[in-house]
């Protein structure tokens, strides 16, 4: 069984009380189950653990139980990332935090300064030259996902492949 969060395929969910170590290089979700739906309570990543009480010793464990109603209503889903480093796993955690705002991560979210800057609408609009014959290749194309500038990755015969410098999203545009 698996659950999809954003574009990531997490294994599980399984009851948290059924989890057995070890666990290495994963992003994990703590979920609560209500009827047939799961709600994300907490998200984090783990380099490695072999401790059976890894989750019970988490400082936010009380929050998880409070939000789920009981320990029996807590579930675990993991995203194995064996070849990843800490920064890559944290990037995924941050995306999930931003999109889902899990209630038991609130304290950590308030303490962290974002790794991005909020741009105003005028920052996002490409600067248009008053000259109507300006070169179209100078026009900035912004990523629909994160708003960063899309860089030209490849120019093919009829299309141009663009890649986002921020999130890595690819897009294809027809050459005119």
Confidence of residue 135 (pLDDT cuts 50, 70, 90): very low
pTM more than 0.85: no
Determine which helix (DSSP H) or strand (DSSP E) holds 49, and give its type and residue range: strand 37-49
Residue owning tokens 């026009």 = 139
Q: pLDDT digits over 26-84, tens only?
A: 999 999 988 888 999 999 999 999 999 999 999 999 999 999 999 999 999 999 999 99
Reply yes or no on whether the pLDDT at 124 is more than 60: no
CA atoms within 13 A on the CB side of 18: 10
- pLDDT at residue 128 in the model: 42
For the cut 70, the answer to whether the pLDDT of residue 131 exceeds it is no
Q: Where are the domains of the chain?
A: 2-111, 121-128+135-174
Q: What is the pLDDT of residues 82-111, one digit of tens each?
A: 999 999 999 999 999 999 999 999 755 445
What's the CA gap between 10 and 8, in Å, rounded?
Answer: 6
Could you name the CATH architecture of 2-111? 3-Layer(aba) Sandwich (3.40)
For 165, other C-beta atoms within 10 Å of its C-beta total 13
Q: 121-128+135-174: what fold?
A: N-terminal domain of TfIIb (2.20.25)
Structure-block tokens of residue 29 = 């979700």
The pLDDT-based confidence of 140 (bands split at 50, 70, 90) is confident
Helices within the chain (DSSP H only): 61-68, 86-100, 106-111, 121-124
In whole angstroms, give the CA distance from residue 162 to residue 168: 10
Do 2-111 and 121-128+135-174 have matching folds?
no
Closest listed residue to residue 103, CA positions, set 47, 41, 169: 41
Q: What are phi and psi of 29, to 5 degrees?
A: -120, 140
Q: What percent of the chain has pLDDT over 90?
A: 56
Alpha helix segments (H runs only) across 57-85:
61-68
């Amino acid at each position: 069984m698996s659950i999809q969060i954003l574009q990531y395929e997490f294994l599980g969910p399984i009851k948290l009380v059924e989890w057995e170590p070890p666990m290495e290089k994963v992003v994990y979700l703590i979920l609560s189950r209500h009827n047939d739906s799961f709600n994300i309570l907490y998200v984090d990543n783990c380099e490695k653990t072999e401790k059976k009480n890894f989750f019970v010793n988490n400082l936010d464990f009380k929050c998880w139980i409070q939000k789920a109603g009981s320990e029996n209503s807590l579930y675990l889903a993991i995203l194995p990332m064996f070849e990843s480093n800490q920064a890559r796993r944290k990037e995924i955690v941050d995306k999930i935090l931003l999109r889902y705002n899990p209630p038991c991560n609130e304290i950590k979210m308030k303490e962290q300064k974002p790794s991005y800057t909020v741009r105003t609408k005028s920052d996002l609009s490409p600067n248009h030259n008053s000259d109507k014959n300006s070169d179209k290749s100078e026009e900035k194309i912004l990523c629909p996902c994160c708003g960063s500038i899309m860089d030209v990755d490849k120019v093919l015969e009829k299309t141009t492949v663009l890649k986002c410098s921020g999130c890595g999203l690819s897009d294809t545009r027809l050459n005119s």
